[in-house]
Amino acid sequence: MEMRTLNKKIHPQSSPSSTNLGFLGLIIAGCTSSNINLGMMNGNDELREVLRLKPSSTRSNKKEIFSLNEVIANKKTLDNLKSLKFGWNGYQSLPINVSVMEKAELLINQMERQPKIFPTGRGTLQFEFSNNEDYLEIEISSAENSFFEQKKENEFEGKISTEMINEKVNEFFA
Amino acid sequence: MSSLLDEKFNPEESLYRGVVKINWDYERGRPSSATFKDSNGISVDRGGGRNESDCIDFLLSKRKWKAISKVSVRDVLSVNAVVLYKPIPENMFHSEVHDSTTKLTLPQSKSKKLRDLAIDVYVDHQQ
């Protein structure tokens, strides 16, 4: 497999099925910033199946949204954030909680739209999305998650369960 | 430690906050609102009568920041947050932005609004 293939955005009319996405998540979950080994993937028929960009009727009307490259970049970001120590932001910031990290890793493996990920000084992670002038941020914490959304002139803020995050993001871009 | 500055803030007084690289949104060229989230309130340096370059140099003497952003006291009040003078031995300008007089942490909406109001007065383009 060539690296070039992984850099390619997967077109909606040819995005992987949810089964394959799940499998892809497992593969990516095994990659760290230091051990992404494309050579290991060679010969894996199922992965090849994913990257052959098979059509999927469920996503046929969506814009280009799924990028394996972005998933891998976010995995790398999370790996880097694991090493943050107390006071990492120059003030009294907390390290990112382990359970927050685990939750974030699971989420990015499942998300069609990849967020920009930022750590906060309160030990949480922030997922950010923007769509023109609209804005959505989701704060992942160990106890509960919360969101803030700006859409046109309207603002929404509240709690959100982990299971609903992907749906919230898709709804934001709908 | 005795306070060397007035406990009261002038609405036009500037408050400076250092931004680390991992909180910088390179795509948009500005800090993430995550910069304005902290469990102990948001630490800032008040201007305290200094000129801006002195404020920047003082912050840079402590750490190599990616950027330094400022908001005014008026900005803080406009999002219904409060700023308190909290000098510490190593920094007589240290102050904190709290959600209210009884709650430390800012909700997401206030952090985002502060980010939108913030002006970047220093950016290290080498980082």
Residue-wise pLDDT tens digits, A122-134: 999 999 999 999 9
- Smallest CA–CA distance, residue A156 to chain B, in Å, is 9
Task: Judge: A121–B39 Cβ closer than 8 Å, yes or no.
Answer: yes
Dist CA A85 CA A127 (whole Å): 20
Q: Residues 42 to 101 of B: which have CB under 8 A from any A CB? A: 42-43, 62-63, 65
Nearest partner of A59 among A32, A91, A21, judged by Cα = A21
3-state per-residue secondary structure call for chain B: CCCCCCCCCCCCCEEEEEECHHHEECCCCEECHHHHCEECEEEEEECCCCCHHHHHHHHHCCCCCCEEEEEEHHHHHHCCCEEEECCECCECCEEEEECCCCCCCCCHHHHHHHHHHCEEEEECCCC
Nearest partner of A135 among B27, B97, B106, judged by Cα = B27
Q: Is A96 exposed, middle or buried (0-12, 13-18, 19+ CB in 10 A)?
A: buried
Q: What percent of chain A clears pLDDT 70, i.e. is strictly above it?
A: 62
Query: What is the residue type of A40?
Result: M
Using a CB-CB cut-off of 8 Å, the residues of chain A touching B109 are: 148, 155, 157
What are the pLDDT digits (tens) for B38-87? Answer: 988 999 999 999 999 999 999 999 999 999 999 999 999 999 999 999 99
The SS3 of residue A102 is helix
What are the pLDDT digits (tens) for A47-104? Answer: 334 333 333 334 434 545 668 889 999 999 999 999 999 999 989 899 999 999 999 9
Instruction: Give Cα A134 to chain centroid, integer Å.
Output: 19
Whether residue A6 has pLDDT greater than 50 = no
Residues belonging to chain A with any Cβ–Cβ distance to chain B shorter than 8 Å = 80-81, 88-94, 116, 118-124, 126, 128, 130, 135, 137, 139, 146-148, 150, 155, 157
Query: What is the residue type of A33?
Result: S
Inter-axis angle of helices A68-81 and A98-110, nearest 10: 180
Give pLDDT, residue A57. 36
Task: Judge: A118–B20 Cβ closer than 8 Å, yes or no.
Answer: no
10 Å Cβ neighbour count for A108?
22
Instruction: Give Cα A58 to chain centroid, integer Å.
Output: 20
DSSP A97: P
Q: Residues 97 to 116 of B: which have CB under 8 A from any A CB? A: 105, 107-109, 112
| A to B CB pairs, distance under 8 Å | 74
- Smallest CA–CA distance, residue B47 to chain A, in Å, is 18
Look at the alpha carbons of B58, B62, B65, B69 in this order and tell me if their dihedral is positive or negative.
negative
Using a CB-CB cut-off of 8 Å, the residues of chain A touching B18 are: 89-91
- Smallest CA–CA distance, residue B49 to chain A, in Å, is 23
10 Å Cβ neighbour count for A94?
20
Using a CB-CB cut-off of 8 Å, the residues of chain A touching B98 are: none
- Smallest CA–CA distance, residue B74 to chain A, in Å, is 22
- Give the residue, A29 or A109, on which the prediction is more confident: A109
Contact in structure between B55 and B13 (CB atoms under 8 Å): no
| Structure tokens that stand for A26 in this block | 């497992």
| Closest residue on chain A to B105 (Cα) | A122
The SS3 of residue A96 is coil
Dist CA A4 CA A7 (whole Å): 5
Question: How many CA atoms lie within 13 Å of B55's alpha carbon, on the beta-carbon side?
Answer: 25
Give pLDDT, residue B3. 56
| Structure tokens that stand for A158 in this block | 């509240």
Using a CB-CB cut-off of 8 Å, the residues of chain B touching A80 are: 22
Using a CB-CB cut-off of 8 Å, the residues of chain B touching A123 are: 39
What are the pLDDT digits (tens) for B9-28? Answer: 999 999 999 999 999 999 99
| Mean pLDDT to the nearest integer, A14-41 | 43
Task: Judge: A126–B34 Cβ closer than 8 Å, yes or no.
Answer: yes
